Structure 1
Amino acid sequence: MTDRKSELATNLANVEQRIEAACVAAGRKREEVTLIVVTKTYPASDVRALAELGVRHVAENRDQDAAPKAAACADLPLSWHFVGQLQTNKVRSVVGYADVVQSVDRPKLVTALSAAAVRAGREVGCLLQVALDAGVSGRGERGGVGPGGIEELAGLVADAPGLRLDGLMTVAPLTGEYAGRQQAAFERLMDLSTALRVAHPAANMVSAGMSADLEQAVAAGATHVRVGTAVLGVRRGLG
């Protein structure tokens, strides 16, 4: 085993232990939580090593990095998640490889994703990115739709050809009432998920929590956690 693969294996085992412990503490089964490894800024060789170590879900946040990496790893049994703010001019490229777009936050993006998915003959899963630091229906600092805008946006996704409404995603806010209160933020997201599932029962995916706060996300009920640094190490560059 190469030094890098060995390093990744050790880090992955540590993260796995953290998720397992968090599930035990929350009275949940380990299989209720899916690990998504955020591979942004890291090379395709790391993605390949992770796949060999059993990782099945990876995430990227910039299309210019993700598209060539996904192409280089097209032979691997991976699901690709796009988690960054997505401009409509990048949608056609992203739909070419992303199985799930976790950052759907406005009607214009839904329209563009639908058109690209139909053109590509694909079904793309969509999570609504919820901005818990937004006003009732405004947008957050890092993108996302306010809680008051979820119902309308969910309806647009559910009705859009080529798209599948999978659930909700959030990033713990840095400002506002939930700043420094990750678990409260994630519990609020779970409440919003419960409300969403009244009209859309299959939209049961809740993506929350990263390297620093995955335990709080698991405690709140998240179904997916997005972990980068704890698996791959401190980021290279700014991406």
Structure 2
Amino acid sequence: MTERRDELAGNLAKVERRIAAACEAAGRKREEVTLIVVTKTYPASDVRILSELGVRHVAENRDQDAAPKAAACADLPLSWHFVGQLQTNKVRSVVGYAHTVQSVDRSRLVTALSKEAVRQERELGCLIQVALDAGVSGRGERGGVSPDGVEELAALVAGAPGLRLDGLMTVAPLTGEYAGRQQAAFERLMELSTSVRGAHPAATMVSAGMSADLEQAVAAGATHVRVGTAVLGVRPRLG
């Protein structure tokens, strides 16, 4: 356990230096960027160590892994973010532990989240997931709504009981016009964020950037970066 703690502490320190350097290069204050550690596939024991090391935001993408882990770590001062594609049949479970759902991408999901948040008497933070690779279907490969649908969905979230519109999220696309152009993708997300804030001034959160491209996200103006591998190591393959 001591060995794992030392490993995580060293990795966190490296990521912290990267974020600090990226902020300095962008002329931003370090406190403008929040680190979310993506703990998917890693055990609750790692989450506990991260909490001891000062991490306050963790993210998961599969409810079947996240629910027991969140329950095992319920005593810790953590904010849990759900970042995966969310099926409506998992909404009841996710609303039970998540503070923020970053992957809101369709009206049916908004309705389900709202109904369950009201039932559980919780206020749930929501980010609209933007698919910058959206095809004719209006959805991206990894979920998300097309840029054209962002404002309509944002208004739906903002007006839904039990939900709070916090901002926007994206994953750098692997295909389409932004493939290999992470900073351009994140700058497009910032344009959309500015537009959404015109109608919803409190929706200031912009979640973008992961282990490989957090610098580009910070340069573009992201307020939150989601880092997994650079903190926890290369993930074990899921069977």
Query: With structure 1 as the length reference, what TM-score do the two structures score?
Result: 0.98
Q: CA deviation at 1:180?
A: 0.1
The answer as to whether partners of 1:127 and 1:169 remain within 8 angstroms in 2 is yes
SS state at 2:36 partner: strand
Q: Is 1:2 matched up with 2:2?
A: yes
Distance 2:60 2:232 in 1: 13
The answer as to whether partners of 1:170 and 1:208 remain within 8 angstroms in 2 is yes
**What is the identity, as a one-letter code, of the residue corresponding to 1:78?**
L
* Gaps in structure 2 of 5+ consecutive residues: none
Q: Is 1:170 matched up with 2:170?
A: yes
SS state at 1:192 partner: helix
Q: Is 1:142 matched up with 2:142?
A: yes
SS state at 1:81 partner: strand
Provide the residue aligned with 2:82 in structure 1: 82
Provide the residue aligned with 1:59 in structure 2: 59
SS state at 1:103 partner: strand
Q: Is 1:111 matched up with 2:111?
A: yes
Provide the residue aligned with 1:205 in structure 2: 205
Provide the residue aligned with 2:223 in structure 1: 223
Distance 1:146 1:121 in 2: 31
Distance 1:175 1:211 in 2: 19
Cα RMSD of the aligned pairs, angstroms, is: 1.1
Q: CA deviation at 1:236?
A: 1.3
**What is the identity, as a one-letter code, of the residue corresponding to 1:220?**
A
The answer as to whether partners of 1:137 and 1:145 remain within 8 angstroms in 2 is no
Distance 1:58 1:140 in 2: 24
Number of residue pairs aligned between Structure 1 and Structure 2: 239
The answer as to whether partners of 1:136 and 1:148 remain within 8 angstroms in 2 is no
Q: CA deviation at 1:237?
A: 2.1
The answer as to whether partners of 1:137 and 1:147 remain within 8 angstroms in 2 is no
Residues 34-45 of structure 1: matches in 2 within 5 Å?
Answer: 34-45=34-45
The answer as to whether partners of 1:137 and 1:149 remain within 8 angstroms in 2 is no
Provide the residue aligned with 1:235 in structure 2: 235
- 1:173-226 C-alpha deviation (Å, 9 max, x unpaired): 000000000000000000000000000000010000000000000000000000
* Gaps in structure 1 of 5+ consecutive residues: none
Q: CA deviation at 1:135?
A: 4.1
SS state at 1:143 partner: coil
Residues 97-108 of structure 1: matches in 2 within 5 Å?
Answer: 97-108=97-108
- 1:111-148 C-alpha deviation (Å, 9 max, x unpaired): 00001100111000000000001148811111000000
SS state at 1:96 partner: helix
Q: Identify which range, 129-138 or 149-158, moves more after superposition.
A: 129-138
Distance 1:192 1:155 in 2: 14
Q: CA deviation at 1:57?
A: 0.1
- 1:70-103 C-alpha deviation (Å, 9 max, x unpaired): 0000000000000000000000000000000000
Distance 1:188 1:54 in 2: 32
Query: With structure 2 as the length reference, what TM-score do the two structures score?
Result: 0.98
SS state at 1:187 partner: helix
Seq. identity, %: 87
**What is the identity, as a one-letter code, of the residue corresponding to 1:7?**
E
**What is the identity, as a one-letter code, of the residue corresponding to 2:57?**
H
Distance 1:52 1:191 in 2: 37
